[in-house]
Amino acid sequence: MAGVSVRPDGCRVACVPGGMNMKTVLVTGASGLVGGALTQGLQADGHRVVPLPRFGGEVPAGVAGWNPAAGVCVLPADLNPQVVIHLAGENAGSLRWTAAKKRRIVQSRVDGARTLVAALLARPQPPELVLMASAVGWYGDTGDRPADEEDGPGEGFLADVCRQVEPLAAPLTQAGVRVVQARFGVVLSPRGGALQRLLPSFRLGLGGPVGSGRQWFSWVALPELVQMVRFAMHTPELAGPVNFVAPGAVPYRDFAAALGRAVHRPARLPLPAPVVRALFGEMGEQMLLASSRVVPGRLSQAGYRFCHPTINAALAAVLGER
């Protein structure tokens, strides 16, 4: 496959021999957990990465920037990105879902997608690829049934958000731009997100399963996610919804046990479902207690070889144990 090599550990990575495949990559949300890792990884490959910073007011002249709430996106005339990666949006997992929080989650994604799509369509030279961050929340509560990209949306707030936002990229597809709707699983990194919040209690031996522990947990290690984006950049046949998850989804009790082993502590203290509901409300119900058993169908079909296919391998990698 052109532009992709296979490392000794089996990971397929982008290669940029002599700058032949160097691209300009525009990234929204570049200061976040995923955006920071992607920026570092793509720059190491030799790509030019341009962050698109968000401004609360007017965007200064002569710089790339945007104010999605105002529908403003400024891209200098000499900036012609071949790849656009859209990650920006209100964090859905950081706080209890008040009515105001839910409005911010929806509006930040709707405003961001509409503003970015309109700006890209107005360019004389559209990008080759636009990768839009979505989520496995599209599928709702899957129970024990594996869900892949052929499945329609499920029920619940997260599914509703995905259902509103993903179609907003359709004008790009109609204009001939390859669009990947990257449905992320729970991103595992000690530097942020769910794993960072869990580590203190697990390191004290106070971790354990949430609810029944039987609900499925779909995840992806942050280094793997970076590899998946690289693979998508160099795999022209990959388009539409793509599940960015590892193939090894596990029941939450197995995830808790694996995390306990990784930090060399017992992980037997459960967090009962009524406590989760009392503490976190609807957010806890959908993000902690609902089952998410999602498989990476299209990545596998396209020939992607997973770096960290099991939860044990992923935790060892992100926690620094090789």
Would you place residue 215 in the very low, low, confident or very high pLDDT band (cuts 50, 70, 90)?
A: very high
Q: How far apart are CA 213 and CA 99, in angstroms?
A: 28
Sequence-distant (6+) residues with CB within 8 A of 174 are none
Rg (CA), the chain: 19
AA letter at 92: A
Q: 25 - beta bridge partners?
A: 49, 83
Would you place residue 264 in the very low, low, confident or very high pLDDT band (cuts 50, 70, 90)?
A: very high
Average pLDDT of the chain to the nearest whole number: 93
Tell me: pLDDT of 30 over 60.
yes
DSSP per residue, 221-258: EHHHHHHHHHHHHT-TT--EEEEE--S--EEHHHHHHH
Q: 44 - beta bridge partners?
A: none
Q: How far apart are CA 274 and CA 281, in angstroms?
A: 10
Q: What is the pLDDT of residue 133?
A: 98
Tell me: pLDDT of 266 over 60.
yes
Q: For the segment 94-146, what is each residue's pLDDT rounded down to a tens digit? A: 879 999 999 999 999 999 999 999 999 999 999 999 999 999 999 999 999 99
Q: How many CB atoms lie within 10 A of CB 100?
A: 9
CA–CA–CA angle 190, 159, 171 (5° rounding) = 100
Yes or no: say if 235 and 302 are a contact pair by the CB < 8 Å rule.
yes
Tell me: pLDDT of 11 over 80.
no
Q: How many CB atoms lie within 10 A of CB 137?
A: 26
Core vs surface per residue 180-209: b (16+ CB within 10 A) or e: bbbbbbbbbbeebbbbeebbeebeeeebbb
Q: How many CB atoms lie within 10 A of CB 60?
A: 10
- Least confident among 13-17, 18-22, 69-73, 172-176: 13-17
Extended beta strands in 122-253, E state: 129-135, 178-184, 186-188, 216-217, 219-221, 240-244, 250-251
Q: What is the pLDDT of residue 189?
A: 98
Tell me: pLDDT of 14 over 70.
no
Q: For the segment 46-66, what is each residue's pLDDT rounded down to a tens digit? A: 999 999 999 988 899 889 999
CATH level 2 (architecture), domain 4-187+220-245+293-306: 3-Layer(aba) Sandwich (3.40)
CA–CA–CA angle 228, 229, 230 (5° rounding) = 90
Q: What is the pLDDT of residue 151?
A: 98
Tell me: pLDDT of 7 over 50.
no
Q: For the segment 160-206, what is each residue's pLDDT rounded down to a tens digit? A: 999 999 999 999 999 999 999 999 999 999 999 999 999 999 999 99
Tell me: pLDDT of 15 over 60.
no
Core vs surface per residue 104-121: b (16+ CB within 10 A) or e: ebbebbbbbbbbbbebbe
Q: What is the pLDDT of residue 95?
A: 79
Residue-range domain boundaries for the chain: 4-187+220-245+293-306
Tell me: pLDDT of 267 over 70.
yes
Q: For the segment 237-256, what is each residue's pLDDT rounded down to a tens digit? A: 999 999 999 999 999 999 99
By DSSP bridging, strand 129-135 and strand 83-86 are parallel
pTM: 0.93
